[in-house]
Chains A and B, each alone.
Chain A
Amino acid sequence: MELKTVQTRHVPVRYFEGGTGPDLVYLHGAGGVTAEDPFLAALAAKHHVYAPLIPGYGDSEEAPTIRDMLDFTLHTWDVIEALGLKDPILVGHSMGGMIAAEMAAVAPNDVSRLALICPAGLWDDDHPIADIFSLLPFEMPQILFHDAVAGAAMLTAGRNVEDPNFLQTYLVNNARQLGMAGRILFPIPERGLVDRLYRIKAKTVIVWGDSDRLTPPFYAHGFKKGIAGSVLVSIPEAGHMVIVEKTPAVVEAIGRLG
């Protein structure tokens, strides 16, 4: 994947681009995305993938003027416009799924194929979504992965926790990335999407890991019910990070969009 920059109204946006095939825009979750992400590579096998970073993620510039859900939604439309894309397959994971669903709801005639992978955006008091903002690093794998041990190894790979600068770098990245994500996810990741889902016209596939302990599979039914004609693909032995735990199954599900 190649890291590039495209200018938008708010800020220059960094994005990964690679692969050949139908255009596909991938919106990452609150943890971000890197060039080495195996899910991007798998998508790029059959698609021309564009994966824009939310401002503040990776090395991208922050955007103080993107504050609320509508700002995030319109900004991401601005990115698609700036990339010169028309009706790409729109795929979003977690927070990215929430943004993708909002985009499809505000502009239903501009999105014909939508894949939502354990998206955020709905809330039910009896099925609380874990508070990722107050989780400590060591608590993350248990929440994010079906296999917490393998997940922990994945999260710490390539990081030198003995490095004295590690903590500061970690804190800065966290502040930039989760600080931005908090604008639509804190303290409760719900901004009224439930009342807008009905507007979505896209052919929609909803993908969920059966052992998702961050956004419980309960919510899959909320999305399925809210989006007419949508299809739910449940994936066994996969948690919230189903995109890395069961990459081929997720890619196969997206393939159903044609």
Chain B
Amino acid sequence: MKFTWFNLMPWPYLPDDFREKNRSVWVDIDQRLFDPAKSHEVYNTYMDLLEYADTLGFDGVGVNEHHQNGYGIMPSPNIIAAGLARRTKNAAIVVLGNSIALYNPPVRVAEEFAMLDCISGGRLVAGFPVGTSMDTNYCYGQIPSLTREKYQEAHDLIIKAWTTRDPFAWNGRYNKLRHVNIWPRPIQQPHPPVHIPGGGSVETYDFCIDNTYSYSYLSFSGYLRAKALMQGYWDRVEERGAPDKSPYRAGFAQTILVAETDEEAERLYSEHVSYFYNRCLHVYPGFADAPGYRTIKTIQSGALSQYAPPKGGGYTELTWKDLVEQGHIIAGSPETVRQRMEDLIKGLNVGNIFCLMHVGNMPADKCMYSTRLFAEKVMPKLRNMFPDFADDDRFWAKPLENRVTSGSLPGEFPTSASLAKTYA
């Protein structure tokens, strides 16, 4: 199993009446709600938490890209990842990911990911999302019905840039480049493992299967509601004649909250869960899906019903009990969480878990408490869920054995005499 500690980096100061006074947390959110001076502490606390997860033995630390979004203050995940590459030692740097249709030219992603792989000693997991309609179409102006074509070209260009050792010309529809010759290039060969975040697009299944990429389903509605979608993926893996059904072909994001007891979990975390589901997910429906962004095939498959808010008017009316019972969140004592995680892992057949362990406006101390209980009392018991695939390393980072980290300068200040001796 691979456990990645993930932080969406929500803005923790949305007011109590946010939902009533604002139409959307995303795209046209009121900029005055962001306080740059306060963000200084928020950013540094969030990065501290990611670094803390590395010290507890999480397999990865995860970041992602959203724009103009109240629950994600990370328009450039690579900037956070660069800090993590320096300050963490063992965890994979899971950038999930860069919306490659947005970069002009996308060679920029090939370069920045190569830098991250080099700085981290080969610890990068590279994510290539198409990007949500909010980000890609409404914030960054991409034409909805051409986004996928542009994405595909960006992907092909990045992979070719990573794997070709001589300069080449690229005559694409969206990119015309006479000299593609990236410098630096990644440590991992032939290139870092690729994860594709998907939200039910049928075409994305085939893209992952055909390229041996891991399909990541990033939902906030939990594992029970994800079963139909993930079953669709595994059915497709079989139909497409993939050589195996390795659980590492798939990843899933899940909100997880651990305390000593189920009651304590509710007492400590329910207000933060409520903050996330009621304020952070308050997206104006007109921004959810620009016409043409999804393919007809995907709309017809009915997979989008996953995105419909729960019946009865949405998240506002869901209590802690509802959220737990319906599996939106997995919360409780270590034993409760272990059982439900087992259900999730077996039920969805997923080897990569993106653990959403910071929720809404959760303060650092509570987050550390929950994270540590998970790392020490839950994670070890879930390690060997898939013994048959224990050696499957196709979907994970393969770092250098000997890596340096920050603080590699000589301990003693060099003097004229010491330099004379060293370089005699």
Q: How distant is B132 from chain A, measured CB to nearest CB, in Å?
A: 13
Can you name the residue of chain B whose Cβ is closest to the Cβ of A180? B145
Q: How distant is A204 from chain B, measured CB to nearest CB, in Å?
A: 29
Q: Roughly how many angstroms separate A179 CA and B295 CA in the complex, as a whole number?
A: 10
Q: How distant is B311 from chain A, measured CB to nearest CB, in Å?
A: 14
- Known A136-B285, A186-B137; judge A168-B292 contact (CB<8 A): no
B320 sits at the interface (CB 8 A) = no
Q: How distant is B24 from chain A, measured CB to nearest CB, in Å?
A: 10
B310 sits at the interface (CB 8 A) = no
A179 engages B291 (CB within 8 Å): yes
A133 engages B146 (CB within 8 Å): no
- Known A168-B300, A171-B299, A172-B300; judge A182-B286 contact (CB<8 A): no
Question: What is the interface of chain B mostly: helix, strand, loop, or mixed?
Answer: helix
B144 engages A179 (CB within 8 Å): yes
Can you name the residue of chain A whose Cβ is closest to the Cβ of B144? A182
B141 engages A174 (CB within 8 Å): no
In the complex, chain A residues whose CB is within 8 Å of the CB of B145: 175, 179-180, 182-183
In the complex, chain A residues whose CB is within 8 Å of the CB of B286: 134-136, 139
Q: Roughly how many angstroms separate A133 CA and B147 CA in the complex, as a whole number?
A: 15
CB contact between B296 and one of A136, A139, A175 (< 8 Å): that residue: A175
- Known A171-B299, A182-B143, A182-B144; judge A187-B292 contact (CB<8 A): no
CB contact between A134 and one of B146, B290, B294 (< 8 Å): that residue: B290
CB contact between A186 and one of B143, B284, B287 (< 8 Å): that residue: B143
- Known A168-B302, A172-B296, A183-B146; judge A133-B291 contact (CB<8 A): yes
Residue of B137, B145, B294 with most partner-chain A CB within 10 A = B145
Can you name the residue of chain A whose Cβ is closest to the Cβ of B302? A168
Within 8 A of A (CB), among B134-170: 137-138, 141, 143-146, 149
CB contact between B291 and one of A67, A136, A175 (< 8 Å): that residue: A175
In the complex, chain B residues whose CB is within 8 Å of the CB of A199: none
A183 engages B143 (CB within 8 Å): yes
Can you name the residue of chain B whose Cβ is closest to the Cβ of A132? B291
Q: Roughly how many angstroms separate A172 CA and B298 CA in the complex, as a whole number?
A: 10
Q: How distant is A70 from chain B, measured CB to nearest CB, in Å?
A: 14
Q: How distant is A63 from chain B, measured CB to nearest CB, in Å?
A: 11
Q: How distant is B123 from chain A, measured CB to nearest CB, in Å?
A: 37
Q: List 23 A-B contacts (CB under 8 A).
A: A67-B146, A133-B291, A134-B284, A135-B286, A171-B289, A171-B299, A175-B292, A175-B295, A175-B299, A177-B291, A179-B145, A179-B291, A180-B145, A182-B143, A182-B145, A182-B290, A182-B292, A183-B145, A186-B137, A186-B144, A187-B141, A187-B143, A188-B141
- Which residues of A approach B to under 8 Å, CB–CB? 64, 67, 133-136, 139, 168, 171-172, 174-183, 186-188
- Which residues of B approach A to under 8 Å, CB–CB? 137-138, 141, 143-146, 149, 284-287, 289-296, 299-300, 302, 304
Contacts beyond the supplied A133-B144, A175-B294, A186-B290: 18 A-B pairs with Cβ under 8 Å: A134-B290, A135-B286, A136-B286, A171-B299, A172-B296, A174-B291, A175-B145, A175-B292, A175-B296, A179-B291, A179-B292, A179-B293, A182-B144, A182-B145, A183-B145, A187-B137, A187-B138, A188-B141
